[in-house]
Amino acid sequence: MSEENAHRRPPSTARRTGGRVRSQDAHAAVLTAAVALLEEVGYQGVTIEGVARRANVAKSTIYRWWKSKPTLVMDAYRQTVEQRVPVPDTGTLAEDLTVFVADLYRISEHPVRIAALRGLMAEAQLDPAFAQPFGQWVESRRAVVRGLLAKGIGRGELPAGTEADYAIDQVFGPFWYRLLVGHAPLDPADAPAHVARLLHGWHSTN
């Protein structure tokens, strides 16, 4: 091969792969940094500059992937919550819901997470630019329960006429009310009883 042709040879696959890996690493670092700062200083304290500094990336790198602070924070939070509260698949609706609710209630073991989530909810009431990505995250969590209910109906564990949206409200209701008002504890040990009451009510109204 001539020297001229050698210079025209495209970059190696290894080099391109290495670039992708570095990009993926930077993307992951930004998400990790955003959640860490959220839980350290609250949503109001998070800045793009602070995330860039924590993740050791340029601000321009962050803006290449996320158009704003709200979209970055909620994307990062969505990924983190999906890891902390994964979709259960035990084979029964009762057990799936019990595992899911118990995982939700375990936020009580992490005061910084409680403070962060309360702050996100408050921000969503005050800032229309934040309300949309927050609402999309809420809907993603509702979709998890909707999927569990659909599987339960398919297995004959729930009546086909069960009103899914209201049932989902009932699953999350105690969590949000106790989280925001603080009048009663969020105790994972209560999950089986709470789910049993829900299932009894859903059967008795259909």
pLDDT on residue 20: 58
Structure tokens at 131: 């309300």
Query: What is the DSSP track for 80-121?
Result: HHHHHSPPP--SSHHHHHHHHHHHHHGGGG-HHHHHHHHHHH
Q: Are 79 and 32 in contact (CB under 8 A)?
A: no
Which of these CATH numbers, 1.10.10.10, 3.10.310.30, 3.40.50.720, 1.10.357.10, describes 85-206? Answer: 1.10.357.10
pLDDT over threshold 60, residue 2: no
Mean pLDDT of the 184-205 span: 95
Domain ranges in the chain are 1-69, 85-206
Residue 3 reports pLDDT greater than 70 = no
pLDDT digits (tens, 9 = 90+) for 17-54: 455 557 999 999 999 999 999 999 999 999 999 999 99
Q: Is residue 119 within 8 Å of 43, Cβ to Cβ?
A: yes
Query: How far is it, in rounded angstroms, from Cα 66 to Cα 44?
Result: 18
What is the pTM (predicted TM-score) of this model? 0.87
Q: How far apart, in whole angstroms, are the C-alpha atoms of residue 46 and residue 56? A: 15
Q: For residue 204, what pLDDT is reported?
A: 81
Q: Is the confidence at residue 12, as pLDDT, over 60?
A: no
What are the phi and psi torsion angles at 25 (to 5°)? Answer: -65, -40
pLDDT over 50 (residue 13) = no
Provide the pLDDT for residue 205. 75
Please choose, from the candidates 51, 15, 48, 49, the residue with its C-alpha nearest in 3D space to the C-alpha of residue 32: 51
Instruction: Please check whether the domain covering 1-69 is classified as CATH 3.50.50.60.
Output: no
Render pLDDT for 132-169 as a digit per residue (tens, 0 to 9).
Answer: 999 999 999 999 999 999 999 999 999 999 999 999 99
Q: Per residue in 97-139, pLDDT tens?
A: 999 999 999 999 999 999 999 999 999 999 999 999 999 999 9
Position 181 pLDDT exceeds 90: yes
CA geometry: angle 193, 198, 199, nearest 5 deg = 100
